[in-house]
Structure 1
Amino acid sequence: MTEKIKLLMIDDHPMIIEGYQNTLLFTKRDNQELDIDIANNCDEALSAINKMVKSNLHYDVLFLDISLPASRDGSMNSGEDLAEFVRKVLSQSKIIILTMFDEAFRIHNIIKNIKPEGLIIKSDLTSNDLAVAFQRVLDGETVYSSTVSSIIRRTISSDIVIDDKNRKILHLLSQGVKTKNLASHLGISLSAIEKRKKQLRDLFEVEDGQDETLLSQARKKGFV
């Protein structure tokens, strides 16, 4: 019996989408029939998604890049916004996120906010990996690439627990944001940030008070 699978591939690089298409069409199971829609930005993706919603249909799987041109109306600024929208309007659809971002903060945020069925760092990806991930997700599994799995393992194995605000402080520091500028990013006072940084230094047993030492220890534990 033929299994018809409806897909939406969202990436702003047409050659990448072509590679994904060719891989899946070449490696699909004999009983599978793939119907693939393509979008190169948030507007095209929104148009395709809204069309499915109006038709009372859904995509079986969406392949989605995080770095996408924002929508013209400003409602979607990235692939993350788009994925969260898909979760609301196409709750039956499975999401596989493919991204170049490999920072621990971004990975944890994606898993927490979107809960994708697949999360793959593009630098980890081979054609075989994509084919296997696709079939495993169709079979009901959750698939993470090696870099994502490594970040999750390091965090789980650590006995350090930090909240989202402290995790964001580490992320911003790793991006080169100065302590004096953190307040505008986080919506808390500079004194509150200094207290949180002291907590982080204590947690990671940083004695020299240097941000670089703190970041180095946080990286070893999978928090950056």
Structure 2
Amino acid sequence: MSELTKILLVDDHQLIIEGILSCLKNIDGLEIETANSCDEAFSKIKSNIQITPFQLVFTDLSFDNQSQNSNLDGGEALIKAIQEEEISIKVGVITGHSETNRVFNVIHNLNPSAYILKGNCSTDELNFAIQKMLKGEVYYTHEIHQKLLKRALVEIQMDDVAIQILKELPRHAKISNLEGLIKKNDGSLLKVRSIESKLSKLRTDLQANNNTDLVLKAKELGIVD
């Protein structure tokens, strides 16, 4: 008989846990435990290290049931705690958070082995993710993968002038007001025509309908605050 893969599922909504469990029950070879808070999850992970350690943990990012006494206030804090203690366990994220900037920061800073969206979660996807994680590989759901590619492409296209324009644009009623504020790399100032040309290219690159839409998309991508 082959050894079971021990998984910890962490979410503060019991209905979500039940939904994910209904998918996981159709996958052979799993032993699954659950936790409703990050503190409880971390305690279970540590207490099982010397007995039968968890091989995988799937956690949400946001938890609404945290109190002032909670040590770990969300999924990011749980992942950081696991990494700081150098616990040998593969961590995956199952969440509703699909905002490009949030996704990018979690993956860039924490490097989870999987990033799956709750709305598209299925038995097949979970099984595929689990097999990839057990092999030491990474799995991101298709939508997340596309967002990361778009973010990387936009970063390549961005330069200091573009970022200056995007930061200043919401502060001024007219584009002409930006003249004298935007500097090129050599320190010289951009004329209005050059600023308008740059804005046109940015709208095309980010597929924005207008300058207001452009700023919103730049914020979504985390290019500007």
Could you tell me the TM-score, scaled by structure 2's length?
0.68
Cα offset for 1:39?
Answer: 0.3
Gaps of 5+ in 1: 171-177, 180-193, 196-201
Q: Give the corresponding residue for 1:37.
A: 33
* Deviation sequence 1:144-196 (CA, Å, 0-9, x none): 00111011111223323589xx8xx99xxxxxxx98xxxxxxxxxxxxxx98x
Structure 2 residue runs of 5 or longer lacking an equivalent are: 172-180, 183-194, 204-209
Partner of 1:134: 130
Give the structure-1-normalised TM-score.
0.69
- Work out the CA distance in 1 between the residues paired with 2:105 and 2:144: 12
**Between Structure 1 and Structure 2, whose CA radius of gyration is higher?**
2
Match of 2:11 in 1: 11
The CA deviation string for residues 107-151 of structure 1, in whole angstroms up to 9 with x for no partner, is 111112211100112223223212221222222220000111011
Indicate the residue corresponding to 2:99 in structure 1: 103
Contact 1:62–1:95 (CA<8 Å) still a contact in 2? yes
Correspondent of 2:61 among 58, 61, 66: 66
Match of residue 213 from structure 1? 214
Matched-pair identity in % = 27
For the residues of structure 2 that align with 1:72 and 1:62, how far apart are their CA atoms? 24
| Secondary structure of the corresponding residue to residue 120 of structure 1 | strand
1:200-220 CA distance string (max 9 Å, x none): xx7x9337995543223565x
Amino acid at match of 1:215: L
Contact 2:8 2:34 in 1 (8 A): yes
How big is the alpha-carbon RMSD for the aligned residues of Structure 1 and Structure 2? 3.5
Find the aligned partners of 1:74 and 1:27 in 2 and give their Cα distance: 33
Q: Distance in 2 between matches of 1:37 and 1:162?
A: 48
Matches within 5 A, 1:132-211: 132-158=128-154, 159-161=156-158, 205-206=198-199
Do 2:39 and 2:71's aligned partners in 1 also have CA atoms closer than 8 Å? no
Q: Quick one: distance in 1 between partners of 2:81 and 2:26?
A: 30
- Separation of aligned partners in 2, 1:152 and 1:74: 32
Alignment of 1:68-107 (within 5 A): 68=63, 69-70=65-66, 72-107=68-103
The alignment partner of 1:206 has SS state of helix
Task: Assess if the C-alpha contact under 8 Å between 1:43 and 1:72 holds in 2.
Answer: no
Change (3 A) 1:76 1:118: same
Distance 1:25 1:11 in 2: 17
Structure 1 pair 76–222 and aligned structure 2 pair: CA distance change class (3 A): closer
SS at match of 1:8: strand
CA distance in 1, matches of 2:7, 2:62: 19
Is residue 52 from structure 1 mapped to residue 48 from structure 2 by the alignment?
yes
**Which amino acid in structure 2 is aligned with residue 64 of structure 1?**
T
Deviations 1:54-95 (A, max 9, x none): x37631000101111325524211111111112222532001
Cα separation, partners in 2 of 1:71 and 1:48, compared to 1, 3 Å: farther
Amino acid at match of 1:86: I
Contact 2:5 2:55 in 1 (8 A): yes
Q: Deviations over 1:10-50 (max 9, x none)?
A: 0112232223233223222xxx3x22221011232132123
